[in-house]
Structure 1
Amino acid sequence: MTEKRLYGIDVLKAVCCFSVVLLHAVAYRVESFDGTASWMLANVISSATREAVPVFFMVSGALVLRRDIPSYAGYFLKIARNYTVPLLGGLAAYKLLAVSQGDPTPLLDGVVYNVRRSLAFHLWFMWTFLGLALVAPLLRPMVARPESRRLFLGLWLLFCIVQPWLGRIDVALPVDNMLFVLHTGYYVAGYALLAANRRVPAGWLLFLCGLAVGATAWLTWRAALETGLLSPLYYEGPSPFLVLYSACAFLLCRDLPAGPFPRLLAAVSGATFTVYIYHVLALSLAGRLFGPTTLAMRLLVHAPLAFLACLALDAVGRRIPGLRVFFR
């Protein structure tokens, strides 16, 4: 990969790190629909930060699938060391938070078993990521050729994006999906977009990103008006606007020329998993220490502090013997 692309990937990971913090910072507000300007602002911010998780999968796929995997044993040992151990550390931290809030369950509950019941609701991403890492050695030869990638992504779009919307109007495809799941498509899409030589003008990419965010926010608002409740239909899952937004954001950063602060960006990029694992804990602590929980406080105080706290935790944790194994 060229130096230019490495810089763009670092920018992308840094942006998505902060996006995911903002996403969860405004979640409490967007989930309580009342149609006010405050709710609409939270809705727009939520729509604008939904690219974070799909793009994380795309970046991972771009970096993993471009390389051959000569040794399965070495590859899976690396996965265990770099991802499973930090995940266990995160589960333990959230267990301590639960205990501080009066959780009566055994100490290992939510750490080594019943892990999906822990306060770390957002760590579903890590389990999905590990699942993708397990099948990466099989995906790599499957999508090595450009025509194979195009076929894979075409069928993924059909089964995982188009088919769910057809189902909403009682139309079913006559063939069964025997292979494709939502996040695997993003994983392969990242590799396909990184490997592609075609360049799209930045102006068009920005326009399409804005269009996708605007459509998501407007359609979510319309759906909430009809039911009085927030519907995540356009925020996640098979939303075509999320696919468009994620792909355009990836391409926009991929094509960035090398710019300033490469070492700082590399440090933020390297802290991706630490930020993702611990930002909900940091937001919770920020709310306790620097309340009240208003939208302005969440945006201007809690989210920046949580982001910086996670970066500091990563920088310090990597330097402490015995703890550094929990920081990738």
Structure 2
Amino acid sequence: MNRNAPFDFARLLACCAVIILHVSAGYLYQYGSVPSYQWHFANAVDSAVRWCVPVFVLLSGALNVTSKNTHYSGFLTRRLTKLSLVIIFWSAAFFAYAGIFDANDMVTRLLAGQPYYHLYFLFLIGGLYLLTPAFASYTKAVGDRQAIITGLVCLIIAMAAWAITDRRMTAFTWFIPFIGYYLIGGPLSRKPLSLSIAVTGFVISYLVTVIGTWLLVEHFGPGAIGLYLYNYLSPSVIWMSICIFSIFVRLPVKSTSLLVSLSAVTLGVYVLHPMILETLQKWMPIVLPSMGAVKTITLLSVVTVVLTFALAFGAAHIPLLRKVFR
């Protein structure tokens, strides 16, 4: 199978970015309770990786919304069979991990598309898979330019809806706000923004997110309004995601066995990492002296990334676990 090295690299970095995001997020809700410099460091780090989930969706669109996937039978059989197994396995694993054994609670969480806080992404991707042949047929019929326009319109609508609603999603609706990203992934991978525009756009959108979040939190506190610019459908994160995806596509990355091997287990890393992170967060204060945000975020991020990739890589080589780790 031919590999797209920039896609593998983008997938790998997006996976690491998710972990860094979850490591730093805890400090953001402690505005006023932790020293100012610690909160600002966490804000600077978290703002820098807010593109992670949109880039995953852009990558999925680039790989799946293609002319070879215009028919439902073949595509859905391949994708949904595996995804169903992944959802069942990891939902059960996190129910056990969290001590959730009440049947009603399990069903409620599954219907909400969040057996655990990060597993919504599996339901999001599942919804996009269901419509992929329709999206692929549309893109093939109208061409890349029109597909990008349609995708951007979808993102603008989602951005407006996300700003004025309570954002309550279910297992059947998580994918809807992300349709725009999915539609533009393919066209944007074939004709990305120029490197100068992409780099400049990323820096500006990053600064808007950092400074804007600081000002909003200062006035409204670390709630939905204060942290609005963090959401994946805020104007700054949409532009940041488009820019960094364009940068990834243009990088002169060469495929190596290490890159392929690590990229192949990013599914396992994504689903597994909260168990590793939360275990480290529980034990680190016991075995290490108290540290500020700078050292804690740095150490936790590095150790969580290394341990989770190592465990996922090992598990992916066990025949019974291979299909739920890669």
For Structure 1 versus Structure 2, the TM-score category normalised by the shorter chain is: 0.7 to 0.9
Evaluate the alpha carbon distance shift between residue 117 and residue 73 of structure 1 in structure 2; reply closer, same or farther with a 3 A threshold: closer
CA distance in 2, matches of 1:71, 1:163: 31
Please identify runs of 4+ aligned residues in structure 1 that moved more than 6 A: none
What is the DSSP-based 3-state SS (H/G/I as helix, E as strand, rest coil) of the residue aligned with 2:320? coil
8 Å Cα contact 1:98-1:119 kept in structure 2 = no
8 Å Cα contact 1:21-1:306 kept in structure 2 = yes
Give the CA RMSD over aligned residues: 2.8
Which fold has the larger relative contact order, with Cα–Cα distance below 8 Å and residues 6 or more apart in sequence?
Answer: 1
Tell me, yes or no, if structure 1 residue 106 matches structure 2 residue 99: no
8 Å Cα contact 1:209-1:244 kept in structure 2 = yes
CA distance in 1, matches of 2:95, 2:291: 23
8 Å Cα contact 1:143-1:149 kept in structure 2 = yes
CA distance in 1, matches of 2:98, 2:214: 34
8 Å Cα contact 2:109-2:115 kept in structure 1 = no
**Shift in Å at residue 138 of structure 1?**
1.0
Q: Which runs of 5+ in 1 are unaligned?
A: 169-179
Evaluate the alpha carbon distance shift between residue 254 and residue 222 of structure 1 in structure 2; reply closer, same or farther with a 3 A threshold: same
AA at the equivalent of 1:68: K
**Shift in Å at residue 70 of structure 1?**
6.1
Which residue pairs with 1:274 in the alignment?
268
AA at the equivalent of 2:128: L
AA at the equivalent of 1:135: L
Evaluate the alpha carbon distance shift between residue 70 and residue 227 of structure 1 in structure 2; reply closer, same or farther with a 3 A threshold: closer
CA distance in 1, matches of 2:135, 2:50: 25
Q: Which runs of 5+ in 2 are unaligned?
A: 166-174
CA distance in 1, matches of 2:88, 2:108: 11
Q: Matches of residues 16-55 of structure 1 in structure 2 within 5 Å?
A: 16-34=14-32, 36-55=36-55
Which residue pairs with 1:124 in the alignment?
120
Tell me, yes or no, if structure 1 residue 250 matches structure 2 residue 248: no
**Shift in Å at residue 192 of structure 1?**
1.6
AA at the equivalent of 2:281: G
Which residue pairs with 1:303 in the alignment?
301
CA distance in 1, matches of 2:63, 2:30: 38
Q: Matches of residues 155-304 of structure 1 in structure 2 within 5 Å?
A: 155-161=153-159, 181-196=176-191, 200=194, 202-230=195-223, 231-259=226-254, 262-291=256-285, 295-304=293-302
8 Å Cα contact 1:156-1:181 kept in structure 2 = no
Which residue pairs with 2:61 in the alignment?
61
Same amino acid, percent of matched pairs? 23
CA distance in 1, matches of 2:84, 2:312: 16
**Shift in Å at residue 155 of structure 1?**
2.5
> 1:258-277 deviations in whole A, cap 9, x for unaligned?
34x62222222212211211
Deviates more, 1:22-31 or 1:71-80: 71-80
8 Å Cα contact 1:26-1:299 kept in structure 2 = yes
> 1:183-233 deviations in whole A, cap 9, x for unaligned?
00011111120122x650x34322221111111111111111112334221
> 1:99-157 deviations in whole A, cap 9, x for unaligned?
2xxx5x337953x6632486621111111111111111111111221243133124224
CA distance in 2, matches of 1:276, 1:109: 23
What is the DSSP-based 3-state SS (H/G/I as helix, E as strand, rest coil) of the residue aligned with 1:114? helix
**Shift in Å at residue 282 of structure 1?**
1.1
What is the DSSP-based 3-state SS (H/G/I as helix, E as strand, rest coil) of the residue aligned with 1:121? coil
CA distance in 1, matches of 2:239, 2:135: 23
Q: Compute the TM-score of the two structures, normalised by the length of structure 2.
A: 0.84
Which residue pairs with 2:172 in the alignment?
none
**Shift in Å at residue 297 of structure 1?**
4.8
